[in-house]
Structure 1
Amino acid sequence: MKQYTGYIGTYRSVQSNHIYRFVLDAESGALTIPEPYLPVPDSKYIALRDDSVLVSTVRREQGAGLAVTNLRLPSPHVTAEALGDPGAGCHVAIAEDHVFTADFHAGTVTCYRLNGLQPIQEHTIAIAPHAGCHQVLFHNDLLLIPCMELDECRLFSAVDYQPRGVIRFPKNSGPRHGIFDRAHRYLYLVSQKDNTISCFAVQDTHFSLCGRLPLLDAPVSSCDEAAAIRFSPDERFLYVSVRGAEQIIVLEANGSQMQILQRIDCGGQHPRDIALSPDGHWLLSANRCSDDITCFPRDAVTGLLGPLCSRVPIHEGVSIVFDTTEKGR
């Protein structure tokens, strides 16, 4: 039986103050009930490097910042922490020996260097209070930071952290999360406020808009908000979650050409994050407000999602990562 181990970060609450671990049966799509794995409160966003180094946001009584652990330790424990952030971040991204946390409310991005597993705070990029910094993306020697409340994606040098440009979006669109294809020829970025997806052709450090597409035919609720975006393993399909509408949108992506193929109910409320299994056969949705994870089968040829096949409870679930090492056979 093939299995994949997944980890999910959570908002801090009486019922959720850990990073949790679960197992996905790669043949049936069945999920185990997530169990507490690491005592990391406010682990809203987590990221994994090389299937061994797990980083997450953290907020404790003495401060907020970054928690780091090695998943290959005989017994799980937080290896090191740095608590120099103004508040708990909403996103964390890892690239080789550097980690970045984005703080939505403070409008800052904190840059850490990993000395072994010890995070050393190097620099804070201060954009503007309440700028809505919601992600950090890497492109060549650039950092891209979508700023939801500024309707901009700010560009900074990954070497000296100086400003390197701006990608502007329509007023009140609210750029939130983006993803590059592996060749970095295209950048796809979803906007939370107007529920659109934008495609930019990328040439060196230039980003040219070549398409923008509404994710919804019409508003479903007064609080429709696009959130996460993920690629299929073959990069033919994109998957976007929309909260309020409680939908997962399936798009065919052929360079600048985007086409919506399917809109499917996420099976819960407030799909904060979505993740594809390492083999691409399953899509999971972390539904924060219904306190569950749902799982859907995925057709690798058509990209379409099948009916809900599994659901397990988890309080305040936010972000999902997979250990891509297969277990079993």
Structure 2
Amino acid sequence: MIKGYAGSYASEQSQCLIQFCFDETTKQFTKRKELPGFEDAKYLSYANKKLAAVCHRNAAGITLWDISCDKTMTHLSETKTSCFITQDDSYIYTANYHEGTISVYKKVQDLPLIKRIYIQEAAGCHQVLLLENYLLVPCLLLDAIYVFDRRKDFACVHILPFPAHSGPRHGVFTKNKYLYVVSELSNELFMCHMNEKMQGNVQVVQKLWDTQNQKAAAAAIRIDAQEKFLYITLREVNQIIVFDRKAKRIVQRLSTMGDHPRDMQLSKDGRFVFVIHRFSHDIRVFERDEKSGLLQPLRAKLHVQEGVCIVFEQEES
């Protein structure tokens, strides 16, 4: 049984977090439960039985739910809701797209804010990638990834430039420090091998969408546990792409079975891929062939109003 949570934009129909279960044997959703108290929880992070969520209650900030003891803490100190959240053993990190900031909260009572990194207003900060002592922040509107060193009071130690008007959005790391990034504006897949100082040369690996008369917008990128395949969602054209890292080519392009795919997650065993849609208000499931990486859509469908993010009760990579 796969147990997970779905976050969404706040609206009259959506003022809560959705908890769900998926049966891997019957390949159907078996549970859907609405959990109040998570307003505008459009991005989530799960680690060590703790669920972190961005939120907005008169002011914006974060909520941390310790599932093991059912205790919730909230800290509100941002003007607008952040678009991304992640965590490690000691801290929670958010990226604020509009304010151009990265916020660092300590995972103790009251979730004190220990650092707010200001990059630039409307920088388009879209993610925080954690690697060793570094934070890497894709800034979509600055065509760059900013690198911060935790050992130096989060000082910016490097700026990784991307082509003009590309819009780097989200990235994933491999175990040997290869960074793969998708760009929202140019719809390209980039690769960069990072050195010890988190520097490297960005190169285009694949153009994800070439048709000029139909706009696409790359959103999420995930990698399987064996690091053989990358999975990428394209909004507007409602597609999911399977990219073979060894062959360096797209091996499958198929419909996400919904409208406006935002996030996706691979199950821990790699058998299933879950895609959440904002405009068709649902989660759709694909069965995955581990050897070929190819996907097959299933009939399973779960209603999530204005869905944005999915996490499972498994450790984040």
Normalised TM-score (structure 1): 0.91
> Does the CA contact (< 8 Å) of 1:297 and 1:309 recur in 2?
no
In the alignment, is residue 125 of structure 1 matched against residue 117 of structure 2? yes
> Does the CA contact (< 8 Å) of 2:161 and 2:202 recur in 1?
no
Determine the structure 2 residue equivalent to 1:204. 196
Deviation larger for 167-176 or 183-192 = 183-192
Please report how far the alpha carbon of residue 216 of structure 1 lies from its aligned counterpart in structure 2 after TM superposition: 2.0
Task: List, as ranges, runs of 4+ consecutive aligned residues in structure 1 with deviation greater than 6 Å.
Answer: none
Which of the numbers 185, 208, 212 marks the counterpart of 1:215? Answer: 208
Equivalences, count: 313
**Cα RMSD (Å):** 1.5
Please report how far the alpha carbon of residue 118 of structure 1 lies from its aligned counterpart in structure 2 after TM superposition: 3.7
Please report how far the alpha carbon of residue 139 of structure 1 lies from its aligned counterpart in structure 2 after TM superposition: 1.9
> Does the CA contact (< 8 Å) of 2:262 and 2:277 recur in 1?
yes
Q: Deviations 1:183-242 (Å, cap 9, x if unpaired)?
A: 2420000000010110111221222234431112424733x1100011112111110001
Question: What does 1:1-329 align with in structure 2 at a 5 Å threshold?
Answer: 3-32=1-30, 34-50=32-48, 52-61=49-58, 63-73=59-69, 76=70, 79-115=72-108, 118-159=110-151, 160-181=153-174, 183-205=175-197, 206-219=199-212, 221-222=214-215, 224-254=216-246, 258-324=248-314
Sort the Cα spacing of 1:220 and 1:259 in 2 relative to 1 into closer, same or farther, 3 A: farther
- Counterpart of 2:194 in 1: which secondary structure? strand
Distance 2:164 2:113 in 1: 34
- Unaligned ranges ≥5, structure 1: none
Q: Deviations 1:271-329 (Å, cap 9, x if unpaired)?
A: 0001111111111110011101101111011000013331121101111001139xxxx
> Does the CA contact (< 8 Å) of 1:33 and 1:313 recur in 2?
no
Please report how far the alpha carbon of residue 145 of structure 1 lies from its aligned counterpart in structure 2 after TM superposition: 0.5
Normalised TM-score (structure 2): 0.95
Distance 2:277 2:31 in 1: 14
Distance 2:118 2:241 in 1: 33
Q: Deviations 1:33-86 (Å, cap 9, x if unpaired)?
A: 632124210001000112x0110000002x11010011223xx5x610000112
- Counterpart of 1:267 in 2: which secondary structure? coil
- Counterpart of 2:13 in 1: which secondary structure? coil
Percent of residue pairs identical: 33
Distance 1:118 1:28 in 2: 42
- Unaligned ranges ≥5, structure 2: none
> Does the CA contact (< 8 Å) of 1:68 and 1:118 recur in 2?
no
- Counterpart of 2:248 in 1: which secondary structure? strand
Distance 2:290 2:11 in 1: 37
- Counterpart of 1:119 in 2: which secondary structure? coil
